[in-house]
Structure 1
Amino acid sequence: MNKSNDVIYGINGPVVTLKNSRSFSMMEMVFVGKEHLVGEVIGITENLTTIQVYEETTGLFPGEPVEGTGSPMNVTLGPGILDNIFDGIERPLKAIQEQSGSFISRGSNVSALDQKRLWAVTLTVHEGDPVKGGSIYATLPETAIIEHRCMVPPNLSGTITKVMPNGQYHADDTIAELTDEKGTVHSLTLCQRWPIRTPRPVASRLPTNIPLITGQRVIDTLFPIGKGGTAAIPGGFGTGKTMTQHQLAKWCDADIIVYVGCGERGNEMSQVLDEFSSLMDPKSGRPMTDRTVLIANTSNMPVAAREASIYTGITLAEYYRDMGYHVAIMADSTSRWAEALREISGRLEEMPAEEGFPAYLPSRLSEFYERAGLTENLNNSNGSVTIIGAVSPQGSDFSEPVTQNTKRFTRCFWALDKALAYARHYPAINWTQSYSEYFTDLDPWYTKELGEDFVKYRKRISRILQEENQLMEIVKLIGSDVLPDDQKLVIEIARVIRVGFLQQNAFHKDDTFVPLPKQKRMMEAILYLYDKAKQLVAASVPISSVIETGLLDKLVKMKYDIPNDNPALFDAYLSEIDQKLAQIVSA
């Protein structure tokens, strides 16, 4: 290797080139310049080596040295990831702030995990035990609610030849030794490293047949997602993408949340930090940060690191999946990530495809979303990674390339509507544009846990909303007065569904999260009134008489009036419906 040629030849934004170098391999992690800026080799020809730099390149000049690491771009996996906030290449922002103040200095050499912190480690193996990739050899309490399970790296197997006693250890202390078949001794510490662009291996992929319960009625009932599934949340500016992801992160029944702020505004990430640090986890009564990791790569950070942040987040998620946890990763937003691809592609002078995005945009999106799944892990545990990616199409144009290509690789599409958002209808998920392809997989679970009625109610609710959508086309043309009473009833019941069922109040204690049994009883009450009123209308009772009973408005408010822990109160609602409608008949 001719080290004298390992110097910068050209600089174009985050793209750096070297001439006549033979020292580096494809995708190798390198240190660029005298300040040791982190970079990655993305192209090699006979004459030029191309590197994308994950830090600001201002001040670099030709002739500065470039040093290789001999390994691909990777992250450190171990205790201390949770309750932490990293940038796009897993540098801990809290530690960087303590070292260099409120602004990230270039070339910050800070360990991803706190090397000074001691962990109470319990060894779970003994000398002579055979182990393989994924085997758990130690456990420790990472937070008050999450047990960290130290696993043998997937590419190692052999026999445990040395075990340290239980006690307090640092992250890089050797707590056991493994001897492989060749006689090589490997030290096992509390952490390991893994390349971010390589999916962690699993024993097998399982069918996605368990729903991710979110407590959001429009999602759980109409457009559910399974654990290990993929979903896209497309919407224009101000439609509530980030707010929806915040709600899902707070309330979904995943064990661990990985939140990736990819190219978003800094004040939004500050809001996430403030909210998550003050929010109590409803399941454990502990702070939400005890089961959350945040990756912040805001819009003013280097664009190349934005591209890496998505892979960093999914690698952390896969690590906890391998321990047997259900992990949900929120990517906000994949459009900013695609824009980073476009900018780097432009600087590399690659041939642009639609709207300037690189031709490999679809393959990069598929690589990301394909890393989701419900899996049987190498240690025989089951875990999942659920990916929920926000998409920010310019001008709410869902025909643009990122949205269209994302639809190809996700099975859930929660389309946010600007008109609903501006009408203060949250979540602003449009029920005519959205869809879920998980019904076939999840309906057996819903039927087993909630009975056959839940699926039947959902289908009827969807049918009423579709019928209302068709009727509103007529109303726009000639007004509602000319409609027969049975169609006016459909419009009235659809209003109850929209306002009383699909719309939720994130600031109300009983409406911010709604358990599935209450969701079922709410649908039951709405459809019960619809069926009874339909009988009256068929018997020539005017729809105005049904409206005057106040039952429709009462059902709109039932989400507030009936506590989540007392669904039996719905029986009184059904009795009141019978009583008031009977009075109409007797009158």
Structure 2
Amino acid sequence: MANVIYGVNGPVVTVKEAKEFSMMEMVYVGKQRLVGEVIGITSAYTTIQCYEETTGLMPGDPVEGTHTRMNLLLGPGILDNIFDGIERPLAQIEKDCGAFISRGSSVSPLDPDKEWDVTITVKVGDVLKGGMIYATAPETHIITHKMMVPPTLSGKVTEVKPDGKYKLHDTIVKIEDEFGAIHELTLCQRWPIRTPRPVKERLTPTVPLITGQRVIDTLFPVSKGGTAAIPGGFGTGKTMTQHQLAKWCDADIIVYVGCGERGNEMSQVLQEFSELIDPKSGYPMTDRTTLIANTSNMPVAAREASIYTGITLAEYYRDMGYDVAIMADSTSRWAEALREISGRLEEMPAEEGFPAYLPSRLSEFYERGGRADVLSGNQGSVTIIGAVSPQGSDFSEPVTQNTKRFTRCFWALDKSLAYARHYPAINWNDSYSEYFTDLDPWYAENCGKDFIDYRTSITALLQEENRLMEIVKLIGSDVLPDDQKLIIEIAKIIRVGFLQQNAFHKDDTYVPLEKQKRMMQVILHLYERSKAVVAENIPISRIREQGLFEKVTKIKYDIPNDHLEMFDEYIRDIDEKINAVLR
């Protein structure tokens, strides 16, 4: 007997007395064959969440199983593309259906007719194991796509096609497994989105993800293969911070997931990325980027799937040996989708109505990040940077608190900093990074041990300023002794001249580590020389008259990134003017 719809409640569809479906199976719902996934089974009812708009579905409409889990098609063509939450190519859908996605659209995620220039890297008689590379093809100007044996398959090569142009589903290699069965290897494979791809060994994250953003690289670094959260209320710059990281971080590939965000934000991402030239290669940024757009007006269940779609694509490129950074904007909208579906399933709500399994779902997502020896014999990493949108900037709400449990880097965005046009609006008192122990050996080797010493001194000055400002609020700054006034002046230089960064300035939008180090050196040199003046009971106003504080504050603009020798002139100028005050 054919299975038919029994009831419809928003994206939740029930089927009565179905015996053929298995948990997490992908199904087609209704006459339009809407994509759905089995999320609950009892002897009486099967519950399905539908990833497309369910308007018009009726009891009695057919439900068809596929006997496979919800999966993605993985192969060349993922980069320089934009998908919805279940890997449907939006550009191709627009050509076929117009500006709005038609329900039941069955467009192939990747172009099956495009020919790729394939180079075969194995020969007859080779023994291939899961994850090993058997062919390559230039996917974009920047990235070479590596075709890998599916992780669950292994065997001996029995047939190899010559190098040349092949389409996505063309067989290029045949292997025979231990049972004598022949398997055809094409340019693509499928993988279920909720299953992490296996690796040979997970590695300690010992290499930082260099972002060019001073407050991150210096004070709160994240490693390649690390996890970071960017919590902040409306208007604090979560999306812009992620844009900067996506543009400038030294990951090989960027996966950007717009999960439940406004459509104009996603269109801005598309426009900016298409115009931006990758500084490392000189080619468009889109050549190493893939976008997953599931905006707030798209079906809510697909929003829940989009996070898993993004992390699966990231793991796939990690397995080729690439360093991948995935930007999830925002996990709060994803959690809201969980809450809505949970409510329609009539599950018992936990704090603020979120389902009780919210922590486990968050951990499933963040634990898929990491740096690893992969099955292909290379090393790769997936760095996860998730934005969180707590209502009213309340960091005590469940999504933010549970995210803190599973991330080791916390970049807390501050509303008052954002409104004062201090960007990135990362509050240095509320943020933290737990990667210092892992990353300090790298910084010591590549930037010198003094980089770590400078960072420690800068952090101590900011903490001392925070303590002094509590006193200033009560009794004013005039009663402070000059040594404490000096700390407030230097901390202001650190805040405005070092931590604040201008994304629209050619030399300040991205700052190399060496310049970051030299900037700290000059600021701390000014502090040490000024301390000598104050120790001689000379008023701090005499230093102000020299204009040194203003000059050092503007150092980020006045010294180009390729003329770092100019820092020596600043140090000499500080010495000359301080010596003149001391005479």
Which of 268, 278, 284 matches 2:275? Answer: 278
SS in 1 for 2:264: helix
1:537 and 1:58 map into 2 onto residues whose CA distance is: 74
Q: Which residue matches 2:258?
A: 261
The amino acid that maps onto 2:438 is: D
2:555 equivalent to 1:565: no
Quote how far apart the aligned CAs of 1:379 are: 1.5
Which of 203, 217, 226 matches 1:229? Answer: 226
2:456 equivalent to 1:459: yes
2:491 equivalent to 1:494: yes
Which of 28, 32, 36 matches 1:35? Answer: 32
1:369 and 1:437 map into 2 onto residues whose CA distance is: 15
1:187 and 1:69 map into 2 onto residues whose CA distance is: 21
1:221 and 1:480 map into 2 onto residues whose CA distance is: 29
2:84 equivalent to 1:87: yes
1:34 and 1:183 map into 2 onto residues whose CA distance is: 41
1:544 and 1:266 map into 2 onto residues whose CA distance is: 52
Q: Which residue matches 2:155?
A: 158
Quote how far apart the aligned CAs of 1:548 are: 1.1
Q: Which residue matches 1:248?
A: 245
* Structure 1 moving runs of 4+ over 2 Å: none
Which of 407, 415, 421 matches 1:418? Answer: 415
- Per-residue displacement from partner, 1:391-442 (whole Å, max 9, x unpaired)? 0000000000000000000000000000000000000000000000000000
2:300 and 2:327 map into 1 onto residues whose CA distance is: 19
2:145 equivalent to 1:148: yes
Quote how far apart the aligned CAs of 1:554 are: 0.4
Q: Which residue matches 2:344?
A: 347
1:191 and 1:541 map into 2 onto residues whose CA distance is: 73
Of stretches 220-229 and 540-549 in structure 1, the one that deviates more from structure 2 is 540-549
2:180 equivalent to 1:183: yes
> Where in structure 2 are the equivalents of 1:538-553 lying within 5 Å?
538-553=535-550
1:292 and 1:84 map into 2 onto residues whose CA distance is: 8
Q: Which residue matches 1:449?
A: 446
Quote how far apart the aligned CAs of 1:215 are: 0.1
2:183 and 2:353 map into 1 onto residues whose CA distance is: 48
Quote how far apart the aligned CAs of 1:286 are: 0.3
Q: Which residue matches 1:125?
A: 122
- Per-residue displacement from partner, 1:2-33 (whole Å, max 9, x unpaired)? x33x1000000000000001010000000000
> Where in structure 2 are the equivalents of 1:501-580 lying within 5 Å?
501-580=498-577
Quote how far apart the aligned CAs of 1:201 are: 0.1
2:101 equivalent to 1:104: yes
- Per-residue displacement from partner, 1:100-158 (whole Å, max 9, x unpaired)? 00000000000000011000000000011000001100000000010000000000001
The amino acid that maps onto 1:64 is: D
2:337 equivalent to 1:306: no
Quote how far apart the aligned CAs of 1:36 are: 0.4
Which of 433, 436, 459 matches 2:433? Answer: 436
The amino acid that maps onto 2:425 is: A
Q: Which residue matches 1:14?
A: 11
Q: Give the TM-score taking structure 1 as reference length.
A: 0.99
Quote how far apart the aligned CAs of 1:568 are: 1.1
Which of 205, 208, 215 matches 2:205? Answer: 208
1:54 and 1:546 map into 2 onto residues whose CA distance is: 65
Which of 329, 332, 335 matches 1:332? Answer: 329
1:380 and 1:373 map into 2 onto residues whose CA distance is: 16
1:548 and 1:53 map into 2 onto residues whose CA distance is: 69
The amino acid that maps onto 1:555 is: V
1:178 and 1:88 map into 2 onto residues whose CA distance is: 33
1:228 and 1:584 map into 2 onto residues whose CA distance is: 50
> Where in structure 2 are the equivalents of 1:468-479 lying within 5 Å?
468-479=465-476
1:146 and 1:483 map into 2 onto residues whose CA distance is: 58
The amino acid that maps onto 2:430 is: Q
- Per-residue displacement from partner, 1:58-94 (whole Å, max 9, x unpaired)? 0000000000111000000000000000000000000
The amino acid that maps onto 2:369 is: A
2:170 and 2:376 map into 1 onto residues whose CA distance is: 23
Quote how far apart the aligned CAs of 1:166 are: 0.5
Structure 1, unaligned runs of 5 or more: none
SS in 1 for 2:568: helix
Quote how far apart the aligned CAs of 1:547 are: 1.1
Tell me the matched-pair count: 583
- Per-residue displacement from partner, 1:471-496 (whole Å, max 9, x unpaired)? 00010111000000000000000000
1:532 and 1:482 map into 2 onto residues whose CA distance is: 23
2:184 and 2:546 map into 1 onto residues whose CA distance is: 75
Which of 99, 110, 135 matches 1:113? Answer: 110
- Per-residue displacement from partner, 1:357-411 (whole Å, max 9, x unpaired)? 0000000000000000000001210000000000000000000000000000000
- Per-residue displacement from partner, 1:30-72 (whole Å, max 9, x unpaired)? 0000000000000000000000000000000000000011100
Q: Give the TM-score taking structure 2 as reference length.
A: 1.00
Q: Which residue matches 1:195?
A: 192
2:369 equivalent to 1:400: no
Quote how far apart the aligned CAs of 1:566 are: 1.4
SS in 2 for 1:187: strand
SS in 2 for 1:90: coil
2:246 and 2:545 map into 1 onto residues whose CA distance is: 41
- Per-residue displacement from partner, 1:155-195 (whole Å, max 9, x unpaired)? 00010101001000001110110110001111100000000
2:392 equivalent to 1:372: no
Provide the identity percentage. 75
Of stretches 409-418 and 542-551 in structure 1, the one that deviates more from structure 2 is 542-551
SS in 1 for 2:279: coil
2:501 and 2:29 map into 1 onto residues whose CA distance is: 50
The amino acid that maps onto 2:318 is: R
1:254 and 1:396 map into 2 onto residues whose CA distance is: 30
SS in 1 for 2:180: coil
SS in 1 for 2:493: helix
1:196 and 1:19 map into 2 onto residues whose CA distance is: 27
Quote how far apart the aligned CAs of 1:565 are: 1.1
Q: Which residue matches 2:480?
A: 483
SS in 1 for 2:187: coil
1:541 and 1:55 map into 2 onto residues whose CA distance is: 73
- Per-residue displacement from partner, 1:175-220 (whole Å, max 9, x unpaired)? 1101100011111000000000000000000000000000000000
SS in 1 for 2:202: strand
SS in 1 for 2:207: coil
2:545 and 2:66 map into 1 onto residues whose CA distance is: 76
Quote how far apart the aligned CAs of 1:233 are: 0.1
2:547 and 2:152 map into 1 onto residues whose CA distance is: 67
2:214 and 2:552 map into 1 onto residues whose CA distance is: 15
